[in-house]
Every structure is written in structure tokens, then in C-alpha cells.
Structure 1
Amino acid sequence: MTIYSWVTLTGYLLASLCLLLLVRNHLRFNNTKSQTLNKLEASEQGFKERENNLVKAEARVNEALKLTKVGIWEWDIAKDIWFATPSYFTMLGYAPVEGSADRKTELDKIHPEDREHVTSTIKGILNSKKAPNYYKYQARIRHYDGDYRWISVRCIVTEFDKDDRPARMLGVRIDIDEIQKAHDQVEWLAHHDSLTKLPNKESLNKIFQRVIEADIKLALLFVDLDNFKTINNNLGHATGDQLLLAVADRMRALVDQSGYVARQGGDEFIIILYADSEKQLTEKTAEIKSALSERYHLDQHQFFITPSIGVSLYPKDGKDFDTLYKQADTAMYHAKHAGKNKYAFFTEAMQANTTRALTLSNALHDALEQQEFTLHYQPQIALDSGKVVGAEALIRWHSKTLGAVSPGEFIPIAEESGQILAIGEWVLRETVRQLQQWRSEGFAPIRVAVNLSYAQFQGNDLPTLISGILEEYNVPADYLELELTEHIATNNPEHTIEILKAFQQLGIQTSIDDFGTGYSSLSYLQRFPVYKLKIDQSFVRNMTTNTNDHIIVGTIIVLAQQLGMKTIAEGVETKVQLDLLKSIGCDDIQGYYISRPIPADEFKDRYLQSDRNIII
């Protein structure tokens, strides 16, 4: 539900209360008491009793409006009489105005940067005839203490004059400052790395699109720190984060005005450099490698860490960001495999040597027929009760020729080759079949979540496919949960809304996975019929030692609460993380602290044949 939808709903809920206020003001400003008495044929005593009751009702309404931070106003345009409920003023710290108030005074409180938008919006409705008969906007309005707060306003024309011009308006405004600040935090998160404050990959892509020109030459550098995991494992993530900050600072200084730096995630960085000549680019790349390899002094520790760097060139190697990124990534792995602490420029020969990827792609064609896939299930725990309330189905592949292959390796290949559609359908079918088996064995199955791939979500027949599978196994729709990543959800928002509504009609609940790692416009997020946000493990992992990650996790939880959604944190590995998540209002968790993903039979024995309570 969008903020404007919320305003509309609030307006409807308060409509009857508004009528009380309007009647009160009608009596106050139009002096029609004697006419009303005649029409109603009531005694003066009865009228006074009704008026007293109306005054009391108005007082109760005003108290309710104060609590909800909702203000209601009415404007008689022809007579230029404007008045508002006390809550209209008190929500921003001002004393209520009895009777008619000064519109100009209220307009002067609008932030200078927003004032033109507001006044033009109002003028637009005043200068129009019957259609449209409403307007809406968000603006910053000055609080009594001098600060500005975000306010949402929605107005409807209630009367027109003989020329079909607006003659009277009724409006509602709501204090949305906390929601807007949460939105701003998520918007910042969508474009920046929380640790280093560098732009992220998505943001760098936007920069790339902005700076490319027909005759410009650019280089994309993919930088990976060699053996960084060893430092994290031996000295802890806090020390690892300090080192990443130091590396980021060096990169900023090295690149300066010659390009842009972004953090891809983990120990990976991306640099875009202006490359007027290959000689100049080679010298700059060598300088970056050398500088990043110099000694780091962090507290009582001294470190030497080296980078492996892959380089691709625009427009020689590609004309779009994703192609250059993949080619630089390929070149980086070539440099790493060549001994690390090196840089390599992308060549077609590197592309031809991706034997492993080709081998996996060929093996995937036979994996379904050979029944090489299985599903493991990771329990999801409610923090308020300690009960197992759900599980996530995760695919595992044990190839008869290649052995165990991690999902992180074969799923991208399956997506690229198109085989993910068949694999995704198998996962859905096997999950529902397993739910049906547990039911037939007398267990009350819990809800099981299945991840949807980008390719699956692009088709319009997905709801029909899932509906058919549920009907085939006679499994209720509310036992199945569908997860889609933030990237999938926001790639084509209107298509997303259409598919999610189809799921909703089937009775299937959906959630947003890896929330915080992509870009979510609040306007779309509120329109998505999803019930849960899954907080990405990259924030959970460091939230006990990194203040920024702690704030981000808390912000996502507040945002979800404001939108009426639940939250689940993934990648919970310690009791400290669990306790902190519980203290800031997270609903559910999953992670190795509770259990690794386990086969179906083991999951049944451990969680379905007991009361499913977990000691947390």
C-alpha cells in the first residue's frame, strides 16, 4: 500500500468523523441555526443538546487525530475561508487555530525547495474544471522547532460553482517523516556499500551510462583481494572490515579525478578509469596494484595483501556495462590463476578457456533425467516463540561424473543457458510432492519457501504452472511460499505486480529475498503484495560489530513494520546475532546457528516429529 493509498484509506475511515466537524463548522460560519431548527422542527433545547453532543464528539475526534498524526482541513474557495482541525497544527508543534486560519501563513511553512511544486499543484486544480477533482503531494513543512518534516497531503474538491470551478475543498495531511527517513535510508543503501560508503555496482552502472560517449575510451577494472578470507577467518570480521576500509581509502586516493570506484561486495571492487591510451592505462593499473600491495597498519596489526586485477576496455571489448563487467571478471580470474598479485587484460582466448563452465553446462542437460538433484530444507524459526514456522527448500546437485557441485557454481550457468526453467519447475514440483508426502504420513506440514529465478518470473504462465502442480498433489496453496530477489522484483515492477497478484489470488504468499542488496523504490515496494522481507545475510553477518549494518538492519525492520510486513533474517550464525535481532523486532530467522539445510527425512525426524520448539 502506497503512502497515498494509506492517506485515502485514512480519509475513508475518518469520513464520518469529518462530517461531524463539517456540520460543526457549518453551524459556526454560515449562521444557519434558525433555519436548521425550522427544518428539523426541533425545540431549542433539543438543538442545544445536539450541539453539545456535537462539541463533545468533535473533541473526541480531535484527540484521535492527534494520536494518529492526521490533520483535516476545509477551504471555502469562494469566500476564502480556510480552517483545520487542531491536529493539523499540533502535529508540527504549533498551537491550534480557532476558527478561520491564514492559508498564506501555512504555505510559508513549506520548504523553499518544495514550495513551487506545492503551489503549482494547487493552482492546477483551481484552474481546472471538474476533472480531475483531486490532488496529492509530499513536501517538507517547517516544524515549530525550525526543523522540516515530511508531510503527505491529499485533497478532493467537494463542491463546484456554476462555472464548474472548484468552490470547496476537503483535505487530509499525515506526518510521514519517519517513513520517509526509512525510505531515504533504503534508497541510500540501494546505491552505496554500507561499510566503505563507496557506490555499489548498480550505482557504478548508472555512472557508466552517464559518462559514455561515442569517442570516449574507458577501462573497467575488477579488483579482488588475494587471500582476504584468511584474514577474516583468523582475525575476525571486525579486523577484516578495517582492512577493507583502508583499501577503499587507498582506491579513492589513487583514482581521484581519473575515474570512479565502487565496492562489488566482500573483497571485490570495481573501478572505471578514463583510458586515453593503452600505455597510460597500463601504468595506472600497475600503480593501483603496487599501492594496494603496500603495508597496512591497523591497530597492533600489520598486513600485506595483494590484488588480482582484471581489465576490460570500452568500446573495444564491449559497449555495455554488464559485458565489460563479465569480461573484467574473467580476466581477474585469469590473473588469480596465474599466481595472484597480477593484472590481466581481457582477451578472446580467456573466453575460450572457460572449460569448466562448458562442462557444467553439458552435464546439467542430463542432471534431471539422471535424477541427480535433491532438495535440502533449512528451518525458519519465530523469535517470539522459538517454534519452527517454515523452511526454505534449497537445491543440491551431486553429478555422477563431476561429484558435488555447489549451487553458487551451477545455478548461474543454468540461468545463462536457459536450463533454469526446467530445474526451477522440478524444484517447485518436488517441494509440493514432499509437502503432500508429509501430509499423507500424518504430519501437519509447515510452509516451505522456494526461490524463483529471473527466467521463471519473466513468463506469464508461472501462476498457471504452480496452480497445476498444487492441484496435482492436492496441496493447499498456503503451504507454499515463493521468494523473489529484490533485483527480479524491481526489474519490471508492473509485471511483478501482475504476477504477484495472481499468486495472491491463488492463496500463495510471496516474500522479497536478499532485501537491501538491490534497488527498491518505496512506491513500488508498497504496491507489491508481499508479506515478508528477508534481510540479506551480508548485513546480518556484521551487524554485531558494524554500526552501519546494525542501523541498516534496524531500518529495514522499521520499514517492514510501517508497511505491515514481517521480516526474516538469513545467515544467523551466532547467539549474539539472534539476541540482537530479537531485541530490534525481527520476526523470524534462519541460519547455521539453528541448522544447516538438511535432507527431507532428517528434517522430518528433527522438526516434524516433535513439537518443533527450538531452544533459542
Structure 2
Amino acid sequence: MAKPFGSTSIAVREAEPEPFYRQLFARSGFGFAALDAEGRIIDANASLLRAFGVASFADLPPFTDCVSSKDRPAIAFAMRPHLAEQAPWEVRLLRADGSEFWVLASFIEPPALPGEALSPAMIVQTIDVDERKRNALELAERESRWNHALESAGQGVWDHDFARGDLFYSRQWRTIRGLRPDDPIDTSLDTWIQTVHPDDRAHVLAEIAKQESGEASFNVFSYRERHKDGHWIWIESRGAVVEYGPDGKPSRIAGTDTDITEHKEAEERLAQMSRRLELALDISRIGVFEINLKTSDVRWDDRMIGIYGLDGDPDSETWERALHPEDRLKATMTVADGIFRGQDFVNEFRIIRGDGEIRHVRGRAAPYVDLTGVPRLIGANWDVTGDVRLQEELKRAKDLAEARNDELEAARARIEYTALHDHLTGLPNRRYLDATIQAAAKAAQETGSRLAVLHIDLDRFKEINDTLGHLAGDQMLVHAAGLLNALKGPDDFVARIGGDEFVFLSTGSGGRNLATLAEAIVDAMRKPVTFNGHICRFGASVGIASLSGAAIDAKQLLVNADLALYRAKNRGRSRHEFFTSDFQAQIIVNKQTADEILSGIEQRRFLPYYQPQFCARTLDIVGVETLARWDHPTRGILAPDAFLKIAEDLDCVATIDRIVLEQSLADFARWEAQGLGIAKISANVSSKRLHDPELAHSLRTLDIRPKSLSFELLESIFLDDCDRTVLENLAEMRRLGIDIEIDDFGTGHASIVSLMKLSPRRLKIDRQLVKPVSRSPGQRKLVATIVEIGRSLNIEVVAEGVETPAHVAIMRDLGCDILQGYALARPMPADAIPDFVQRQEWRSQAGTVRDLQNEVRRAIIR
């Protein structure tokens, strides 16, 4: 192998003259390589080595391997001996890193020179054309893409190079006109202009003159040209000057032609449609509007402006300002809803025109999004005032005719209805009931079926009337009527017979479960009702009587149901009772008892009994509770169970309370004088007493020492719904130094909210909660919770029903302040109190501390 250029030592080089080709390599700026007969590189100059990125030709493979695989066939052909002297070849050479670069490669067979031992078989000269070649390829690619884009867009390209006399027309340009690629084209203006529509020729010539004179460097115009098959096509021509001559005039103009026939035909169809629409809108006087929902810009046509009576252009608020105030909310909500749902909608409203005239307008609109993505609303309005007025006139005429025809019938029906119905509730009245029950009784006699009467009376209705007024009472009656109607079956009849009394008539041979029906009535009536922010609670008592077959007597049924109702009210109200044969005897007894109560009040036979109360820690007596008793002439001392309900019916409970209270204060004064150490007395006060406007005045007439008297709120007094009278009475009690106690706490008679609002001095745990504490851990926890509530609110806790020593110990350990019950003392008359206090017998009865603890322990273990 020949030695590389530049590697021979100086001594050798002086002995052996340097080959000629090396002198050529050293002096040339091109790349040179010397190849042996097998194509191996035996020498290379620095330019070639730099192009390949190597330091020595020894790092290069055979020359054919230095050529890209894409060009190797061409190189193998070019290196043949008889072709070596041909023109240079454009090939891609391959670097060691795989990158390629373009060169012009020339192959030379050097002659053998005398005196040169090293003579290569072939010399390769390379010229770097990589950048130029890549630019040319990129330009060709761009031109190809552009041509493809124009072709796919249906645009024909033309190029008029006047300087060279070269006129070019693309294939698509020919296709637009129906020409084949090889069809000849007469490019003279005179010939071509004849293919242009006569109406467009002058226009086309003028536009061409603008371009050729340089007046317009870029020009766009449309015209009609005859297709090869004879029909006219619309062409849009776009041309631009791309080169100018030395005289400053255009020397080359290029552009595109586009077939816009379909577009023009669509425009014509649209124009025709627009003309028809415009004519229709003119005839129908329909105004059109459009709103840009993004910018609120509005556009109204002249008809819209005329409908609204405007002088100038509308703005975004014109429509809403014109709306009649009564229609504004509905109309604007209709528009907002249609836009939100993205659906077309119809709107009807009145407007007040600029001249003040009120007109009726109907509209239809639809939201849409235009091609630029802007949301818009388009619609139409038309004046329908004439139609509306005509419809109103027709309706008035029709209504008048119907009113006149129905007037006599309506008057007769109103008179009959008024005569047979209650004006407040709309239920049948007593007259209607009498007629109905007679007919029902006759039908039941004939069929042998059962006829039942339920006489219903509302409980505590008078309290609602007295405290909240007759308007509240009327509302409760209407509510009760609605409940009864809801429970009425197809064969039933409901009537209001006066005041707060109703009759429910149940007919039919199938019958109904009367007890279930009555319970449903009672349950429905006891549910609370709200009136003006007040919770109204009432109930119902029901008396039931029923007969069947020939024995039915309508009037007697009503009497029997009334007797059953009386018994239901005497037995506690909010319940039902069936008529039985012993009713009359019971009525006689109740009437006798009522007379005796009134006589007892006159004779002051109602007196106080006292049950002592004890400190839970020391068992010292701290007070007494006053209990009403009746000293009956023949039956002895009677508890309130024997007379209270009848006394309530007589409305004389407040009188009895006053008699007992006055006597209690006198007894208390006597005990103080005797030094018995009884710190206070407590007395019951009823709900009706609290609602008495004269209570405060009555209390001020009594000699009451502050903190010596407590009032226990006995009944279900709804302190969350107190009226003004109750609040004033409670305030007066506090001013007089009378303490307030809550009785029966824990059974639903009082609530935590009531405690916080009322702030009583004491609360009494009901005996029902105290009794099980000795055997029930859960009950002890409940009582402990109540005690904790009292302690947190700074309220003393009194335990009622303390009946065993175990109760004494447990309630003391749970933290109760005061104990009361049979384990310590039973109720007794006033004369027995001094002796009881002095003997202190309750201490021994309560047991020793150890006995108490053992009993509690046994009770818990059990």
C-alpha cells in the first residue's frame, strides 16, 4: 500500500521525488482522494478528511462504502473506466456517525508519470454542495406542496412572463374551463375576451389594464366565462405583479383562477330568498332584530323601530325600557330561559311606545353561535294589538252572554248553598244535617244497614279564641273541617252544627270501624297548627252512637252521640266514647257533683292539705306543698281527682285555687308565729289561672312576704308560645317575690327552652322518673342528667315520689336539693303540721345512713 501523503520522512523525500498528484492535493481547496485498483483510499488531502470528520485516510473505509446506500449504484456505474472522465456526479457521502452530505464527485484516471513509483488507479475530486443541494430540495418540496395545495383547493395557476414571452397555465386552470391537458390555448387577448360574458367584458378589460399598467400590484375580480361545453361559469381571478422591467412596468404577472359558480349561484338563491323574505316581512309588518350576546350590541330593522315608535337607533336597554312594568319580569325571564336552554322560544308582552301608546307584541327568537364563535340572538316581533283587542271583545261578549244565562241559576244555587252550608268552613250546616240524617235513617231502615253518628267537640278551642283572638279560632275551625273532610269516605257526611262542634255521619251497610275512625280524628286534631308564628294546640273529644235496621231514630242518634261526647270530655278529653245504657245515670251523678261543688265553694269547704319537703342533705324540713282538698259533707276528704274535671267544666278552678291559697297564707303566718322553721309554701297554679288578666291584681291584694311563696306551673303550659297576659302575670309574680317552680319536669310538660326563658327557682322531677331509680341504672342516669341541667342553670331540683329509704339515699347521692314523698311525710291538714315538725319522726322513718346504704346496695344488685 502507498504511504500516506505527508508521512514520509525528510530523508526519504529527498531521495524519492514527491508524486505529482500530491502536489495537486496540497494546492487545491477541493477534496481529493487517491484510490487503488480495488477502490481503497490510499491517500487523501486535508479538505476531504475535514469533510468526513477524520484525522487520517486510514480511518476511512473503501470509497464505495463512504457513499450513501442510496447513491452506490450510481457510483459503481460512474467509476467504470470508460465513464470516468464524464461530468461530475451529485452523490451523498456518509460520515462515520451516519450523517450524509452532498458533493459533486469527479473521477479521473491519472496517467503513469515517469519516475513516480506510487501511481494511484483513480483520483476522486469532491466539491461540497450540501447546503445548495438541501436548499434546492427544500425549495422543490415547498413548490410541490404549494402546487398540491392549489390543486386540492381547486385553484388554477397562471403565470404571464412578458419578458420571456412565456405564458403558463396549470392543469387545474384547464380543468376549470373543461380543457384537457394537451388542448391548445389561444393566448391572444382578443381571442380570449370573446369567451368572457358580454356583460363582463368591459369590466374584465379594465381590471387587466390596471394590472398590466402597474396601477394595481394586486387585483381581485370576478367574471363569467364560457365553459368548453357551452355553459357559463363564474371565475374569481387573483393576480399580482411579481417582476418589473427596466421601464418600471410589470414584466411578469402571476395568479390563480377559482371556479366560484356554486358560490355565485348560492348567493343568487340567497338574494332571491332575502327578497322574498323582505317582501313577506313588509306585508306582514314583522320587525327583525339581532343581538350580540357577548357585547350586547343590537340591530333593529326599520319595521322594529316603527313597532316601538322610536326616533333613533336602539341600544342594549331600549327593549327592556319599553316593556310594560307588569310584563317586564315575565318577558325578560322568558328570554333568559331561552338563551340558557339554547332553544327557540315565544314571548308575548305589552310595550309602551315612545308616544305613550300601549301595544301588544308577540315575538319569536332563537339563540345561535355565528361562524366566528360569537353567541347571538335573532328574532322577530309583530304587533298583535288588533288581534288581542278583538279576542278580548269576543271573550267579553261570550262571558256576558254566559253570565246572563247563568245569573239566575247561580243566584238560586248561592241561596240554596248559603242556606245549607256553614259560611266559615264550607261544611253542611245543622239544617243540611237534619235533612241528610233523616234520609239516611230511612234508607238504613229499608236496607237493614247501620247508621253511625260521631259528635265531635274541639278541646281547648276557647283558650285559642281568648288568647289569640277570633281570627285564630276561625282558622282552627277551617283546619278542623279540612281534617274531617280528608277522613270522610264516599258514604260519609260531615257537618258543622255550631261553635266548635261537628257531626260525622257514617252510612252504608258495609260500615266502618268506628273506633279506628274516632282515633284517627283525635290523632289528627291534636297535631299542632301554626298561626301567625304561634303554635296552636287543641284536641277533640268524640261521642259515638250507632243503630241499625228498624230501630233507627235519627233524632235519638244525635242525642245519644251528644251524651257519649259529654262522657268523653269528663274522662279526660282528646278521646272517644261509645254511647251505653248507663250514660244517663252517670250524667245524673255528674250533675249532682257539680251542684255540690258550687255549694262547697259557697260554704268554703275547699281547704289546703300540706306535704312537707326536706333538705336532701340534712333532712331538715324546708317547706310544704299546698294540695287542694274537698271536705265533702258525706264522702269525707276528697282529692282533686274526685272534683277537678267537673270543676273545670264549671269554670270554677280559679275560685278554688284562690280559696286554698288564702287559707295557705293564713296557716303559714300562724306557723311563723309558732317558730316552726318552715321557710316557704308552694301552691299549684293552672294554665287558665295564668291566662286570667285579673290574677296580678288578685295577688297584690294578698299579704305575701317575698320568697315565702312559690307557684308550681301544673299543666301543659306552652311557655314557648306565651301570650302577653301570661308574661305580664309572670312578671308581676316576680315583682311580688313569688318564686316559680316547674312541676312534673321530664314528662313533656316543660322543655329546656322553657327553663331558659322562664328561669324558675326550682324544678320538680316527676314521680314517674323517681320511682324506678332503685332498680334501673338507666333511670338513675336520666335523673342525674336532669339534676345536672338544673345545677348548670342554677335551679334547685326537687324530687317527688320519694317513697322508700332507698329513694332518699339515691336521690340525695344524685345531687337533688329537696325531697318530697311518702318515705318522709304524707299530705296532712294544717293542724297536724306543728306536732309533725316537733316530733321529727321522719328521720327515723328514713332510716340510718348505714341502713340506707345497705338498702341502696341491695337494690342495685337486684
TM-score (norm. length: structure 2)? 0.33
Higher Cα Rg, which structure = 2
Q: Using CA pairs under 8 Å that are at least 6 residues apart, name the structure with larger relative contact order, 1 or 2.
A: 1
